[in-house]
Structures are given as C-alpha cells and as structure tokens.
Amino acid sequence: MISVYDYVALGAMIIMTFLILIQTRGASLGAGLSSTGEINTVRRGTDKTIFWLTIVFAGIFVGSLIAGVLL
C-alpha cells in the first residue's frame, strides 16, 4: 500500500535532484589542486538560496523515509 510518505519522498527526491543539477560548479575541488582560481568562495544570492533549498529538501526526503518506515 502506498502512503503519503511515499509521495512526499518521491516529490522531495525529484525536486532535490533538480536543485542539485542547477547548482553552479564553482571553484571547489579543482581550486585546491591547482594554483588558479579562488579557494575561498562565498555563496550569494540565488546560489545561496538554491543551496539551502537543497538541504531543506534533503531533510524532508530523509524525514519522510524514516517516518514511512516507522509508521
């Protein structure tokens, strides 16, 4: 039987996947391995919002999976 938690997990998974794919690829691992680019980057504006939304939807996803298993 499919419950509400399954639908919430599926929706959060789809939205989280989309948010991960639209994040910009900044100077992360590559900057530490070479001498070009900035090592310290600060997320600003839309990039910061997308980053925090990804964390929120990851929490919703994990929470709905745990709730589905326990209930």
Instruction: Give the integer Cα–Cα distance in Å for 29 and 40.
Output: 11
12 exposed, middle or buried (CB, 10 Å; 0-12, 13-18, 19+)?
buried
Residue 56's pLDDT is 96
What does the pLDDT read at residue 8? 94
Answer yes or no: is pLDDT of 46 > 90: no
On whether the pTM is more than 0.75, the answer is no
Confidence of residue 66 (pLDDT cuts 50, 70, 90): very high
**DSSP annotation of 23:** S
**Residues 54 and 46 sit within 8 Å (Cβ to Cβ):** no
